[in-house]
């Protein structure tokens, strides 16, 4: 059963609230094939305008949660029925809680050296029944990639959290989806830094006011370039007609059947139409 999906500026996002996203995750845990979970925000939707491979990957994923208030605003403007955002960090927390209660195992891949290890320690303090299968920083040499995958496959973690920033983590998971021996692989970006204590989540006031982006900008003014994605996104939302209330995830030879292949390259597709 696929989630109900909508199209925002040509990009697939699932119409799910936090509870529905979590239920969908539970359903994926019962699937016999590896599932991919992604959490695009407005910045990623803007990246996907130029990056056709990223658009295809999001369309082929098993769960794509709306991790940004901009996506909810776009939905309101175009009447797409998405009322709430589902942040990646909150979904990760629910998944961790689930892994704790059901004694599942996790592996963390990504972050600067030492970050995944610190994140794992912090996670195990809160959720001691989780089985840690290990961690690996996200700055390994390409020639070590297969060795890392072999190790993950030997360890067979239930959940693989990949924190290498967007779109690298989405492309990495997609590229290796057929050889990864895990139940679910999820792109979690900076959430691992928050667990490790190397980044702080915005205080609750900013979260509730949907102003996390402002907090991040105040803390780290060098992000201003990246932050411009939000006004650019809103401007495009006003002008574009590339929206749909009903956007079927693309068939793939995973749980959705069929077989298609997004070609994954490191650089954005310059020829993609906007
Ligand atoms: N990262 C990584 N390998 C890379 C690039 C980034 O492991 O080649 C890590 C980075 O250290 C950080 C995480 O990816 O821990 C998220 O990066 P960023 O803040 O850019 O992503 P966001 O959460 O904003 O999507």
pLDDT grade, residue 267 (50/70/90)?
very low
Sheet (strand 243-244) strand order? 11-14, 5-8, 243-244
Atom 24, ligand 1: residue with shortest CA distance? 190
The pLDDT tens digits for 106-157 are: 999 999 999 999 999 999 999 999 999 999 999 999 999 999 999 999 999 9
pTM score, two decimals?
Answer: 0.91
For ligand 1, pick from 39, 41, 110, 135 the residue to mutate: most ligand atoms within 8 Å of CB: 110
Instruction: Report CA(139)–ligand 1 centroid distance (Å).
Output: 10
Q: What is the mean pLDDT of residues 252-258?
A: 43
Instruction: Report CA(52)–ligand 1 centroid distance (Å).
Output: 21
pLDDT for the residue 251: 63
* Ligand 1 atom with minimal separation from the 192 CA: 15
Enumerate the domain spans of the chain.
5-216+224-244
Residue percentage of the chain with pLDDT more than 90: 78
Question: Is the N-terminal amide bond of 167 cis, ω within 30° of 0?
Answer: yes
Report the C-alpha gap between 242 and 9 in whole angstroms. 5
pLDDT grade, residue 7 (50/70/90)?
very high
* Ligand 1 atom with minimal separation from the 138 CA: 7
Q: What is the torsional sign of CA 70, 23, 158, 53?
A: negative
pLDDT for the residue 269: 40
Atom 6, ligand 1: residue with shortest CA distance? 164
Residue 272 has pLDDT above 50, yes or no: no
């Amino acid at each position: 059963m696929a989630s109900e999906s909508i199209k925002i500026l040509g990009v697939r996002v699932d119409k799910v609230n936090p509870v529905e996203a979590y239920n969908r995750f539970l359903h994926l845990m019962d699937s016999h094939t590896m599932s991919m979970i992604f959490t695009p925000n407005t910045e990623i939707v803007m990246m996907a305008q130029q990056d056709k491979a990223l658009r295809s990957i999001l369309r082929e994923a098993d769960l794509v949660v709306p991790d940004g208030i901009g996506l909810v605003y776009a939905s309101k403007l175009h009447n797409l029925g998405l009322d709430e955002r589902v942040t990646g960090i909150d979904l990760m927390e629910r998944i961790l809680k689930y892994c704790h209660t059901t004694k599942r195992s996790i592996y963390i891949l990504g972050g600067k050296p030492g970050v995944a290890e610190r994140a794992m320690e912090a996670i195990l303090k809160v959720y001691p029944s989780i089985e840690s299968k290990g961690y690996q920083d996200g700055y390994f040499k390409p020639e070590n990639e297969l060795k890392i995958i072999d190790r993950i496959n030997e360890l067979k973690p239930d959940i693989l959290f990949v924190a290498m920033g967007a779109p690298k983590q989405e492309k990495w998971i997609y590229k290796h989806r057929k050889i990864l021996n895990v139940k679910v692989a999820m792109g979690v970006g900076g959430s691992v830094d928050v667990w490790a204590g190397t980044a702080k989540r915005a205080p609750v006031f900013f979260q509730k006011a949907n102003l996390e982006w402002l907090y991040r900008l105040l803390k780290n003014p060098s992000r201003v370039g990246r932050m411009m994605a939000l006004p650019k996104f809103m401007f495009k939302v006003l002008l574009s007609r590339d929206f749909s209330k009903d956007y079927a995830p693309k068939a793939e030879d995973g749980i959705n059947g069929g077989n298609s292949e997004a070609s994954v390259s490191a650089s954005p597709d310059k020829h993609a139409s906007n």
